């Protein structure tokens, strides 16, 4: 079923197409590869979308560039578990803006150092992304500078949705794509971009169950942010805007354990020589562990959404 061009959020597939043209000079058209993945059902052929090879090592620059290219002022603020902050810092450097990035003290050292190298001002606050979000909002209220949200603003989602357009072009036979969920903007935008031509299967760590809890409650609720994937997927809750898009467009989220995420991260490196951070390996963990099994023989795709790993399990 094709999605209507209009949504309660105001975001439409045409916004995503416009974002694609806008950000094209600044991002990479990342590759896909075909691999055989060992699962409890045996080897399954899978298409991997390597967004870990994107500029700054994750899908986040898509939303960051789309946002900053539409901001006229010199100063911008971002709140992040890590990857979004790095993306905004990079985009600000490229576009000649000044960025103040708030991240929790738990943010991966690799990402924090990379932000600082762009010239951004990095402020580490609290232990979880919710603390960084609150501090960023306080600075926005004080200064009036625009805050580029990682998953709950239309320009961010429109940029992130451009990946969905690439999936349709690069692997048109794939009918189901497994995507990791943090604040929900990424899977929501991809689902919107694919307009019913392929299905998004949402996957979350057990320690960061924002969509799972929202689906149980019928609305976004505050959740814990724990475990190895918390610095990339540990949003305080699913976003209001992503929830409007996701609630009627995806099935139940698949929860995966800490152990299965680390095994997926290790498998990607040992067998395919792909570096993925825990959040980037979370979607694949659903297949490797058997937490999700395909209902038929249709082709399967998995997005490897981030590669900013401090270290790899061996």
Query: Any idea where the domains of the chain sit in the sequence?
Result: 13-59+155-304, 61-151
Contact yes or no for 136/149 (Cβ under 8 A): no
Q: Which position has the token pair 């899977």?
A: 187
Task: Evaluate whether 13-59+155-304 and 61-151 have a shared fold.
Answer: yes
Determine the pLDDT at residue 52.
Answer: 97
Q: Cα 19 vs. chain centroid, distance in angstroms?
A: 17
Q: How confident is the model at residue 109 (pLDDT cuts 50, 70, 90)?
A: confident
Tell me the C-alpha distance between 269 and 102, whole Å. Answer: 30
- Residue 128 CA to residue 234 CA, distance in Å, equals 8
What pTM value is reported for the model? 0.93
| Region 61-151: CATH code | 3.40.50.1100
| Residue 188, pLDDT score | 97
Q: Tokens representing 176?
A: 């189901």
Token digits of residue 271: 């067998």
Specify whether the CB–CB gap between 108 and 94 falls below 8 A.
no
By mean pLDDT, which of 90-94, 106-110, 211-215, 276-280 is the weakest?
Answer: 106-110
Structure confidence at residue 123 as a pLDDT band (50, 70, 90)? very high
Predicted confidence at residue 6, as pLDDT, reads 34
For Cα atoms 118, 121, 126, give the angle at the middle one, nearest 5 degrees.
120
CATH of domain 13-59+155-304: 3.40.50.1100
């Amino acid at each position: 079923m094709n999605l209507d061009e209009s949504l309660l959020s105001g975001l439409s597939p045409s916004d995503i197409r416009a974002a694609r043209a806008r950000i094209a000079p600044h991002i990479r058209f990342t590759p896909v590869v075909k691999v055989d993945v060992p699962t409890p059902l045996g080897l399954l052929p899978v298409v991997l979308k390597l967004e870990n090879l994107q500029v700054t090592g994750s899908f986040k620059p898509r939303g960051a560039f789309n946002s900053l290219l539409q901001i006229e002022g010199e100063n911008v603020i971002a709140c992040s578990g890590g990857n979004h902050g790095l993306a905004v810092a990079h985009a600000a450097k490229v576009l000649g803006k000044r960025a103040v990035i708030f991240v929790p003290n738990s943010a991966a050292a690799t990402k924090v150092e990379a932000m600082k190298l762009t010239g951004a001002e990095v402020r580490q606050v609290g232990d979880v992304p919710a603390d960084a979000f609150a501090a960023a909002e306080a600075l926005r209220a004080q200064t009036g500078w625009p805050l580029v949200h990682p998953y709950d603003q239309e320009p961010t989602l429109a940029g992130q949705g451009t990946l969905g357009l690439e999936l349709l072009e690069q692997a048109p036979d794939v009918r189901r794509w497994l995507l990791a969920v943090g604040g929900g903007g990424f899977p929501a935008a991809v689902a919107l971009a694919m307009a019913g031509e392929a299905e998004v299967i949402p996957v979350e760590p057990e320690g960061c169950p924002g969509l799972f809890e929202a689906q149980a409650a019928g609305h976004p609720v505050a959740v814990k942010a724990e475990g190895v994937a918390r610095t990339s997927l540990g949003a305080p809750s699913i976003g209001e805007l992503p929830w409007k898009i996701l609630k009627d467009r995806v099935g139940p989220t698949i929860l995966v354990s800490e152990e299965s995420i680390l095994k997926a991260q290790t498998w990607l490196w040992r067998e395919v020589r792909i570096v993925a951070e825990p959040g980037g390996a979370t979607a694949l963990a659903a297949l490797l562990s058997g937490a999700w099994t395909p209902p038929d023989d249709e082709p399967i795709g998995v997005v490897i959404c981030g590669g900013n790993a401090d270290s790899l399990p061996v």
